[in-house]
Amino acid sequence: MSKTLAELRPVYVIGTGLHRYQRMSDTPYPVLGLTAVREALADAQIDWQSVESVYHGTALLGMAPTRVMLRHLGGSGVPMTQVENASASGSSAFRQAVIDVASGFMEVSMAIGVDKPSAVTLAASRTGIGGLDQGRIVPFTHFALLAEKYMNRFNATPEDFALVAVKNAANGASNPYAQRQKVRSLAEVLQGPPISGHLTRLQCCPIGEGGAAVIVASEGAIARLGVNRKRCIRVLASVLKTEVVYEEASNFDAELTRQTCHQALDEAVVKAKDLDIIELHDAFSVEEIFYLEALGIAGDGEAPAMLRDKAFHINGDVAVSASGGLLAMGHPIGPTGVGQIVEVTRQLRGEAGVRQHAKAKIGLAHMVGVGAVCAVHVLQHD
């Protein structure tokens, strides 16, 4: 019989590290990854030799990038596996690390995300099944179409979506790891170059490069390695699901999000209203509105009014994308899902600095990826 994470042995995040997300540069990818990994090892106060497995979320680097990067930590023979799941690659890598420890396979595992932009071909274009769009419909148009429908159904306005970008830009402006670190006004967001439908440039996430690393461990390893128990964050649930045929065919990401989040919350025995921190896949501003409603944080059509009331701001009802989210922190693909765990962990530890959401105890990280896939993790500070 299959088991949930709650039925296996407890898993804790014990270390986190980041390399700033940034525009594509000449920085070799090992620099991005090694910076994040060394920061995570220092954060956990353990050495590289204590790590027993590594999962590397990457979609853009090409074949076998991990060992040629991590060999510079010194050879340990540790098993390393690349995990590709589109935008959810990093989240999926984290899930594998969690499973390693929860199952008893390993005592200490590491999830990393490292990527640099490159031209890749989606496998869907090689299935032999044609399509009508002739390459004209890219993700921002998919979400522009959904935004138009939402506005029509709920009398929402372009300003409602733009306010997501305003909030997340403000969060990113005080995050030293964010790609976009500039406060933006509503007028700036709305007046930016129009991309598709009502989406302007600042309502579309930047695809850059970066690195993120998270170390997870068992209670036994925490005691053996002398890790500070007060800084360990429990992983309550890990759920990964894929799209099926839905009645409402076009907003499949939201329906997939609803199902995945509800399963994760059920497994964690947590209600949506109990969440203090949420890191969402806000690649486009409208997604934050869709997913908060799918998650049950807001009723259908109610998220814009709650956003205007600052319910989703840091120190509001629940801090949503306190890191700046994909819109401001950036979306380097492989690192993104791992970076969400970094932010949730730092918030739950009370170590998020000027972005700290007061009394944060429970957090959720959510990513969707082309395919479509959805990964959700729930974390708690004991």
Partner 1 sequence: MPDREDMPELVTMDSDGHPALLGMVCGTCGHVAFPEQSYGCEKCGETANTQPRNLPCRGILNSFATVNLHRSERIAAPFIIGEVKLEAGPTIRITMLESSEENLAIGKDTHGILLKVHEPAGREHTELRFTTGSDQ
Query: How many residues touch partner 1 (CB under 8 A)?
Result: 29
Q: Which of 148, 159, 274, 302 binds partner 1 (CB under 8 A)?
A: 148
The correct pick among 64, 129, 354, 358 for binding partner 1 (CB under 8 A) is 129
Does position 155 interact with partner 1 (CB under 8 A)? The reply is no
For partner 1, the binding residue among 136, 230, 273, 359 (CB under 8 A) is 136
* Smallest gap from residue 140 Cβ to partner 1 (A): 8
173-212 residues in contact with partner 1 (CB under 8 A) are: 193-197
In the complex, the smallest distance separating the C-beta of residue 259 from partner 1, rounded to whole angstroms, is 16
Q: Which is nearer to partner 1, 63 or 249 (CB)?
A: 249
Within positions 296 to 355, which residues make up the interface with partner 1, using CB under 8 A? none
Determine the interface stretch with partner 1 among 51-59, 135-143, 167-175, 363-371 (rule: CB under 8 A).
135-143
Return the number of the residue (103 or 118) whose C-beta is nearest partner 1.
118
Q: For partner 1, what does the binding mask look like between residues 244 and 263, x meaning CB under 8 A?
A: xx---xx-------------
Residue 132, interface with partner 1 (CB under 8 A)? yes
> With CB under 8 A as the contact rule, which of the stretches 147-155, 163-171, 175-183, 362-370 interacts with partner 1?
147-155
Q: Please, is 269 exposed, middle or buried when counting C-beta atoms within 10 Å of its C-beta (0-12, 13-18, 19+)?
A: exposed
Is residue 24 close enough to count as binding partner 1 by CB under 8 A?
no
CB 201 → partner 1: shortest distance, Å? Answer: 9
Query: Which stretch, 57-65, 74-82, 140-148, 350-358, contacts partner 1 (CB under 8 A)?
Result: 140-148
Q: What is the 3-state secondary structure (H, E, C) of the chain?
A: CCCCHHHCCCCEEEEEEEEEEECCCCCCHHHHHHHHHHHHHHHHCCCHHHCCEEEEECCCCCCCCHHHHHHHHCCCCCCEEEECECECHHHHHHHHHHHHHHHCCCCEEEEEEEECCCCCCCHHHHCCCCCCCCCCCCHHHHHHHHHHHHHHHHCCCHHHHHHHHHHHHHHHHCCCCCCCCCCCCHHHHHHCCEEECCEEHHHECCCCEEEEEEEEECHHHHHHHCCCHHHCEEEEEEEEEECCCCCCCCCHHHHHHHHHHHHHHHHHCCCHHHCCEEECCCCEHHHHHHHHHHHCCCCCCCHHHHHHCCCCCCCCCCEECCCCHHHHCCCCCHHHHHHHHHHHHHHHHCCCHHHCCCCCCEEEEEEEECCCEEEEEEEECC
By CB under 8 A, is residue 133 in contact with partner 1? yes
146 part of the interface to partner 1, by CB under 8 A: yes
Q: How far is CA 157 from CA 26, 117, 201, 286, in A?
A: 41, 33, 17, 11
CB of 299 to partner 1, least distance (A): 22
- Only one of the segments 4-12, 68-76, 106-114, 146-154 lies at the binding site for partner 1 (rule: CB under 8 A); that segment is 146-154
Answer for which of 134, 176, 226, 359 binds partner 1 (CB under 8 A) is: 134
| Site for partner 1, rule CB under 8 A | 128-138, 141-142, 144-149, 152, 193-197, 244-245, 249-250
